[in-house]
Structure 1
């Protein structure tokens, strides 16, 4: 099971995510903000966006929004933005 082990704010709505298999990538949350739901609207506030935390390997915000490590891993991989460790 892929988990997020570390998350570091970059800028705007980007967070660098480190995963349990040693890979990492910078996730851009613009697509999430575009969904305009009651949970994602809060991320438009830069101060609130930076209040993310990790819980059981998932990326979470205080309003209850959370993303599993696996889902973010797959999104980064699909976009070619996942850097995997050398074998």
Structure 2
């Protein structure tokens, strides 16, 4: 699986992702917000702190999501 190289958090708990292979995908975090580890992401301000570390998306407090999940479940976007 390619690494995430860029992330843009968007309204509605969506992530616009760019992968190392040049692909762009949109990932909806909404279904994951019920899991205890992701509950802090319900706050739009906190969700907006998303960044790329070690090839995946992370947030403060050691919150991250597997890059494989982002890639496989992300919806391809075309310019």
TM tier, smaller: 0.7 to 0.9
Q: Which ranges in structure 2 are unaligned for 5 or more consecutive residues?
A: none
Correspondences of 1:4-15 after superposition (within 5 Å): 4-15=4-15
Q: Distance in 2 between matches of 1:64 and 1:27?
A: 20
What TM-score comes out, normalization by structure 1 length?
Answer: 0.79
- Residue correspondences, number: 79
Give the Å deviation of 1:24: 1.1
Q: Which ranges in structure 1 are unaligned for 5 or more consecutive residues?
A: none
Deviation readout 1:8-55 (Å, 9 max, x if unpaired): 1221201100001111111110011022x1x21100111111111111
Give the Å deviation of 1:70: 2.3
What TM-score comes out, normalization by structure 2 length?
Answer: 0.86
Alpha-carbon RMSD across the aligned residues, in angstroms, is 1.8
Residue 82 of structure 1 corresponds to: 76
